[in-house]
Amino acid sequence: MDKLKITMLGDFSMSYGDKTVTEQNKRSKKMWTLLQFMIANHNREISQNELISLLWGSKESDNPVGALKTSLHRLRACLDTLGLPDDAEIIVNSMGTYSLNSRLDCEIDFDEFDALYKKSMLAQSEKEKTTVYLQAIDLYKGDFLHRSRSDSWVTPINNYYHSLYLRIVHDTIDILYKHKYYKELIDVCKKAFDIEKLDDRIHLYYVKALLDIDEKAAAKQHYTYVMDLFYNKNGINPSPEFVALYEKTVKDDNTYNADFGILKGQLDSIDDGIGAYYCEFAFFKHVYQLEIRDAVRSGRPTNLCLLTAVSKTQDDLESKQLNRIMTKLSDCISSSLRSRDVYSRYGASQYVLLLSNTTKEQAEMVLDRILKRFKRDNPKMNCTLLYKFDKAGKPKLPQEAK
């Protein structure tokens, strides 16, 4: 006899033999909620009042009991299409309570996922644990009822399984990287990116694995993608460890001997020379060190500046709003500075600027000009710009009197 297979991790479905019902079938949202809630709570009986509260909340209904019975009737009619034996009713009721039939021979994916995690805790070796972890990762097709994740009853369950999944992925990539299974690690990371795009630990190990198998071009490309994803699209900071990884992606990258003409063409095409030069912060640090050395040798004044966008109220800026602000501010900085000046995104709401051959008074004038231009061009932006600046480099210690 076939088993009833129920999927709740990712897209919802119920399958029996070669027949399947899914949430995409044109049916009432309340009907699917009713079914999914009973599956999620399949180890207990659920009262009629609890189901009415679930479906209609505080909304008044002329006949909530009748409406519930109608939904249950529609649900049973839909489930009949699976073709289970007549004596294998999926939804049963007893003394005013409803539940999933406990006598059914069924597989529920989130129960299997829980069981695999518990099994991993009993593993006697890293190899055994990793084998179980990989089974759990393969089973996790998506977050718990991801189409309904904003529903109040789904959210805490969704959060639980999402956190448990990330814990398993983190442990798995730690073990795989430790034992140099780089290609297997890369496969795990690629699957994880479909579930969670903003976990910088997964991105970190992905780039490290690419570097270790000498895929430097792919590592650079992914690094750039992540910095844009975190800073520009979501307004958050990647970990310092991930930012520091930039140096590994660019240093000693002499993979072939290029013709001088090709080399010059590549370098000449990097920048159009219009506006200040934007770069990643890890590269900005190198430019800063070079500028300090030159300033010490030549005596030219150089100032380091920090621009920060803050809300006009006490509330934090929302990510979409912050992204829009930082894009506009970047345009303003670029057009306000000279082509030899350099700037970089330092945090989710900050830019750092390096103004070469600029006195303190000139630096203050430049920053005031940026603030005024930003306010003029973006009068409706709900933010205030703050700045700090100081002479670049460490202050010289006073010399001892001779």
- pLDDT band of residue 152 (cuts 50, 70, 90) is very high
Tokens of 253: 């990258």
Tell whether 266 is covered by a domain.
Answer: no
Per-chain mean pLDDT for the chain: 86
CA distance 205 to 186: 8
Give the integer Cα–Cα distance in Å for 338 and 373: 15
> Which has more confidence, 335 or 247?
335
- Write out the DSSP string of 146-177: GGGTTSTTHHHHHHHHHHHHHHHHHHHHHHHH
Q: Are residues 294 and 240 in the same domain?
A: no
For 200, the domain range is: 109-250
Q: Is the pLDDT at 347 greater than 60, yes or no?
A: yes
In sequence order, which ranges of 179-215 are alpha helices (DSSP H)? 182-195, 200-212
Task: For residues 284 and 386, state if they share a domain.
Answer: yes
DSSP assignment letter at 89: -
Q: Report the CATH number that the domain containing residue 220 is assigned in CATH.
A: 1.25.40.10
Q: How long, in residues, is the chain?
A: 402
Beta carbons within 8 Å of 286's beta carbon, 6+ residues apart: none
174 domain-assigned: yes
Q: Which residue, of 70, 104, 138, is where some domain finishes?
A: 104
Tokens of 350: 């900050």
CA distance 203 to 182: 13
pLDDT value of residue 2:
81
Whether 93 and 120 map to the same domain: the answer is no
The pLDDT tens digits of the residues spanning 19-28 come to: 999 987 656 8
Angle between helices 48-56 and 29-40 (to 10 degrees): 130
Q: Which residues of 107-145 are buried (b: 16+ CB within 10 A; e: fewer)?
A: ebbbeebeebbebbeeeeeeeebbebbbebbebbebbbb
* End-of-domain residue from the set 89, 104, 119: 104
93 and 194 belong to one structural domain: no
385 and 294, same structural domain?
A: yes
What pLDDT does 318 receive?
A: 81
pTM for the full predicted model: 0.73
Q: Are 246 and 279 contained in the same domain?
A: no
Report the SS3 class of residue 363. helix
Strands 303-311, 350-355: pairing is antiparallel
Comparing 177-186, 209-218, 307-316, the range with the smallest average pLDDT is 307-316
Q: Tell whether 396 is covered by a domain.
A: no
Model confidence over 69-101: pLDDT tens digits? 999 999 999 999 999 987 788 999 888 899 999
**CATH classification of the domain holding 363:** 3.30.70.270
Q: How far apart are the first and last CA of the chain?
A: 99
pLDDT winner (highest mean) among 30-34, 275-279, 289-293: 30-34
pLDDT-derived band at 399 (thresholds 50, 70, 90) equals very low
Residue that finishes a domain, picked among 217, 250, 283: 250
pLDDT digit string, tens, across residues 167-207: 999 999 999 999 999 999 999 999 999 999 999 999 999 99
Q: Are residues 242 and 119 in the same domain?
A: yes
Q: What is the pLDDT of residues 41-51, one digit of tens each?
A: 999 999 999 99
